[in-house]
Amino acid sequence: VISGFGRTGNWFGSETLAIEPDIMTIAKGLSSGYAPIGGSIVSDEIAEVINACEFNHGYTYSGHPVCAAVALENLRILQEEGILKHVNEVAAPALQTALHELAEHPLVGGVNVCGMMASLPLTPHKESRAKFAGEGGTVGYMCREHCFANNLVMRHVGDRMIISPPLVITPDEIEVFKKRATLALDATYRDLKDKDMLKAAS
């Protein structure tokens, strides 16, 4: 659901990790979020088992024609406009460069990136990458609020900042992201110092 339709640089995250799943769930990426849709893709082996017996299954909105049409058009656009090529040759390399520059910030313990999704773990002690002494997620929430104040949408999961930019993002837009993220990290760092919260968990 999260790692599909170009997000990792391949059509599906399973390709990126060289996994051949028997069952795969798909959702928002199928329509790029323009229409609510979800589904499952199954291997031939699983399909044979399902087809070998009666399988009464369905919901009121299953196979909704409008959502299906949007999904088909979205897939056509992704292919015709070479979105995966853009991800691999332009967007992902630019994002990776920006993230590694952000990783130099004293509040950032490193960077985890795969294609067009990444996280920046926040830490009070860069060398040890220690957790914060306070309640988990407090610093992440503070940083998120500073991101919002700087016109940047970056969410937090605990004290880890998460970014999943549009697949069509340009290097210039990634530069804007980096500048705004730096402002947010600087403001968070100042807050932590002022509130004496720049402490590692024991």
pLDDT at res. 60: 78
Distance CA 67, CA 26 (A): 14
pLDDT digits (tens, 9 = 90+) for 149-188: 999 999 999 999 999 999 999 999 999 999 999 999 999 9
pLDDT at res. 54: 85
pLDDT above 90: residue 111: yes
- pLDDT range class, residue 35, cuts 50, 70, 90: very high
pLDDT at res. 199: 94
pLDDT digits (tens, 9 = 90+) for 47-63: 999 899 887 777 777 88
Distance CA 59, CA 75 (A): 24
Q: Could you tell me the strand order of the sheet in which 155-157 lies?
A: 112-114, 117-121, 160-163, 155-157
pLDDT at res. 58: 76
Q: Classify residue 200 by its DSSP letter.
A: B
Percent of the chain with pLDDT over 90: 90
Domains of the chain: 13-80 (no CATH), 83-194 (3.90.1150.10)
pLDDT at res. 57: 75
First-last CA distance in the chain: 37
- Across 104-114, average pLDDT: 97
Task: Give the chain's mean pLDDT.
Answer: 95
